[in-house]
Structure 1
Amino acid sequence: MRTALYVLLALAAPAFAGQTVYKWVDEKGVTHFSDQPIAGAEKVELSSGPSRATTPQPSYAPSTAQPTQSGPAYSRFVVVSPQQDQSFVNTGGKVTVSLASSPAISTGHTVTLYLDGSPVSGFMPMTHEFSNMARGTHTVKAVVSNGSQTIQETPPVTFHVRQESIANPPVGPAMRNNKPKRTAGNKLTTKQQSYQALNGGKAAIDPSTNLPVKTKPAQKPGPKAGN
């Protein structure tokens, strides 16, 4: 009977943990316990012993977090045409812009083309043809985004549009008037100089032929008759 009481007390100990009970033995030798003080009863402090830490159970619910992506979304995303510092001369302002990406642009991603910092309307990836582009220097780049979030952009490319016009003709050494100019020192003569003038005016000139007058050589005197 006493053993049964101890077992019952042990089972009830968690309920009385941290409380004071009273123990006494009656005249028949039976041990009793009570939470009320009894005359002649022994005061006993009950303890539940060391507390057991609750071990969290693992959760097997599938994770909804998106995997973190490191590095750019595309290994190659560039403007392939025009090339850096390329010039378009007398094309009527026609310029074709072409892009390249690796891998291909994903579904849900949007590509926007910018010319001189402003978005181009009606851009159809991955190429666009401009017409009547103004003369001068321009910059083009492309941006791929997912909604309002920018994912990646190409390096900017600078190119030049040149167009000849009557109002602004081309200038340069090749376009200058290079006709020789005559100076006073190399005027062409209008008539041929005379032989006399070429010889310092010393020779006698026949005006009819403009040639020197031939003179007969002087004859030596011969021997006199009778000598």
Structure 2
Amino acid sequence: MADSILKALLFSVLFLFTSVLSADVYRWTDASGRTVFGDSPPEQSKALPVELPTLTVADSYSDGKQENKPAASAEAKDEEDAENETVEYKQFAVTSPEKDSVVRANNGNIMVRLALEPALQKGHGIVVYLDGKQVASGDSSVFSLESVDRGKHSVFAVLHDENDDVLKNTEAVSFNLLRHSVLK
């Protein structure tokens, strides 16, 4: 007997919660001219019921940790394989400074610009070398080199993946840097 009363009480509570959750929503304009939404409009206002869309619930996102679950479908496996494929870069070249050019920079600061196609992929990076020494790195196609000495220099860049494996090199570009001399 107590069991049936407990079940009836539980059913009543659940019914009460679902009726509260499914309350109607109305829209009306208040005395200030503002649009107001609520579940109990004032009696003197012309409240209109609001059609609410069906609630969509999405699965939680993955935190990146691999679990020992089989792929949900062949399509999901194909997408994962596509992410793991190495991208073939069609173009990777130094566009500035130009080959055998003369660059005037009294402060010794020069910009190295690279042409890269397709765009740099996630996890890939670029390392810039000046006269055989690493001078800059990052995930940009524009690098600023500061306080470069005057004279003839050679610049090239290396494109690498997340494991630091070299994917592609640019050709070395030679240029001359002119700086003002304080000696007379």
Q: Which has the larger radius of gyration?
A: 1
Higher RCO (CA < 8 A, seq sep 6+): 2
Q: Which has the higher helix share?
A: 2
TM-score scaled by length of structure 1:
0.40
TM-score scaled by length of structure 2:
0.49
